[in-house]
Chain A
Amino acid sequence: MKFELSYLIQRNSKPDIRFQMKQSYALNDGILGVFGQSGTGKTSFLKALAGLIPNASYSISLDNHHYQNIAAAKNPCVYVGADTVLFDHINVLANLTLVIKHSESASKRRLNLNEVVSLCAIDHLLEQPVVALSSGEKQRVVFARALLSGKQLILLDEAFSALDWSARLYFIELIKTLKTNHNISFILVSHSLKELALACKHIWVLQEGKFVLQADVNIALDTVILGIANVELDPQLKIEKNKKYNAQNTHFQTVDYQQNLTMAEYSETLFSVLSMSYIKRDELDEQLEIWQLASFEEAPAQQIIKRCAMSDKLTSGNEAMLRNVSSIVIEADKISLTYEKNTQSSMLNCLDVTVIGIDEISTKSPGFPSGIVIKLSANGQIIRSFISKRSFVHMQINMDDNLFAIFKAL
């Protein structure tokens, strides 16, 4: 996908934002995430792509088709916002069938009505009038309706913001599955890095109409979160850091934290995202499930113990799909490090990891604790552990050390 955008947002109290962008992104690489604080133009960016901003000049190339300043109805993108409205004079089912009947692109839809209804878990809502739905239910129906429009690129602008976290996780997994199995592409806009990190392969950071960072998700996490924390690297650590981790994998690039990201009131804790696949239910404790860490290198497979996902209306029936591959967020301060494996511990998870990065956070931002971030590789996946300086000095952790990362059932 290639696109060019040019337009001006005029704002009364703040300086105008001028969009002048020429970008390309390989949609086959996976879902693209756009991160930015409120008021940086995320929504305008997506709406302009979808052709919903009348005075914006834009062009998109997608699958060898070139579109330039065409009406929104013929645009290859469908825009789904947090407060996109349903047609409230008819019920939920009629909303869906109306799109199938009258949308010009609906014939190209990759899923039929029944599949969409079951994937979005809205079967019990079909006969309801739109006014009776909660805001979370509305967002699910709006998403279902977008799937039925048959457009090949779905632009999600905080489209799941009214859902609770577990339902949101479900929809994140759903869009990844739809991408892989049905080749429906998504661009996801959110102010939640966790949501983006779970769903996306690449994250672009938008600031005042410009993309100030375009990076693989792990680099983006380091740059954004550590960048916000005003990281000042200890001179001694800097030397360590310069011993670049020598791996072919592009995940391990060193990051220039000094990039000028001015994310003022941003507060999100440090975390990492693990992808894993389901193996079986635990025989000793039916509350637990055994999953396997997806591996990007040749190393013995490692298991992770996870609490059962609560089976509610959303997941029942769609469990098989979700268990295939799943991502999970793990907070950096939930992970302890040890050099010796202790089998007598209430911590159920113990992963074999290698140190690939050490950063000191001496923060000036309130609410962001100071300490050491140890970046670890577990089967090629990045795990961040946040420990105190005292532990760091006491343990004498060095680059390339082999450690055990221990944490409770996820």
Chain B
Amino acid sequence: MIESLNNDWAAISLTLKLAFLTVIVLLIIGLPLAWWLAKYKGVLKPFIEALIALPLVLPPTVLGFYLLTAFSPQSWLGQLWISLIGEQFVFSFTGILVGSIVYSLPFVVQPMVAAFTQIAGHAQLSASTLGIGRIKTFVFIVLPMTKASLLSAATLGFAHTLGEFGLILMIGGNIPSETQVVSIALFNHVESLQYQSAHALSLTLLLVSMVSLTLLYKFNRSGLPLGIGAGK
């Protein structure tokens, strides 16, 4: 079983790299986006919220199809991409990275918005009337206050990216070491009737997901703001 995993090592490390980078990028763009969205009260709010939530309900293949069309080398967006990045969008690692970021966006941004409004909403009012500026409030009050929620958002984004299939197949195809992630390698094994390898890969994915979620729930319980969690 271990031996069969050795052949898939490239797919596993690619998947972990993809998930890790996706989470990093999502934290970087998600924090300001969620912070802004939590404060924004304008007419466009429902539209923006819907746009962020769209990947939750849309079949990943639809998302993948549109990204594929938009970034095809024939389109101006695809041309722009090539001139900026130096390689084409489709069938590349950066391509599936962008796809994953869009796909996992709601899993990271939605818990953040909820945390900023529900957990830290009143605290921000207190801070502002006490004379604490916006940036200091965010860094010294909101972030520490919501760290449990932020961690859970990051973990969800990570776990969700691990399980991606349709979108990556659509954008990235099935290129080993470039776009062949675990879920696609698994599909290959089943197609070619290599059930031993399929078992090994499935079990690995199952264990990683289970462990990360268990750690998340354990951490989050003790980090709950109202002290609801039992035994710190």
Are the C-beta atoms of A74 and B131 separated by less than 8 Å? Answer: yes
Across the interface, A52 reaches (CB within 8 A) one of B125, B132, B133, namely B125
Q: How far is the CB of A60 from chain B (nearest CB, A)?
A: 14
In the complex, B126 has a CB within 8 A of chain A: yes
Is chain B's interface secondary structure helix, strand, loop, or mixed overall?
A: helix
Restricting to A131-154, which residues have a CB under 8 Å from any CB of B? 131, 145-146, 149-151
Q: How far is the CB of A154 from chain B (nearest CB, A)?
A: 10
Name the residue on B nearest A131 (C-beta).
B227
A77 to B130, CA, bound (A): 8
Name the residue on B nearest A72 (C-beta).
B128
Contacts of A103 in B (CB 8 A): 130-132
Restricting to B104-128, which residues have a CB under 8 Å from any CB of A? 122-123, 125-128
Q: How far is the CB of B146 from chain A (nearest CB, A)?
A: 9
Are the C-beta atoms of B132 and A73 separated by less than 8 Å? Answer: yes
Are the C-beta atoms of B128 and A102 separated by less than 8 Å? Answer: no
Are the C-beta atoms of B131 and A106 separated by less than 8 Å? Answer: yes
A191 to B141, CA, bound (A): 33
In the complex, A348 has a CB within 8 A of chain B: no
Are the C-beta atoms of B225 and A89 separated by less than 8 Å? Answer: yes
Of A79-87, A119-127, A162-170, A350-358, the one with at least 4 CB within 8 A of chain B: A79-87
Contacts of B225 in A (CB 8 A): 88-89
Contacts of B134 in A (CB 8 A): 71, 73
A54 to B42, CA, bound (A): 13
In the complex, A30 has a CB within 8 A of chain B: no
Known: A87-B145, A98-B141. A78 touches B123 (CB 8 A): no
Instruction: Report which residue of A72, A88, A89 has the largest number of chain B beta carbons within 10 angstroms of its beta carbon.
Output: A89
In the complex, B140 has a CB within 8 A of chain A: yes
| A residues lining the B interface (CB < 8 Å) | 50-52, 54, 71-75, 77-79, 84-90, 98-99, 102-106, 129, 131, 145-146, 149-151
User: Shortest 5 CB-CB distances between A and B: which pairs?
Assistant: A103-B131, A72-B128, A105-B131, A149-B130, A131-B227
- List 18 A-B residue pairs with CB atoms under 8 Å apart, sorted by A's residue number: A72-B128, A72-B129, A73-B130, A73-B132, A73-B133, A77-B129, A84-B122, A87-B123, A98-B140, A99-B130, A99-B132, A102-B132, A102-B133, A131-B226, A131-B227, A149-B129, A149-B131, A151-B130
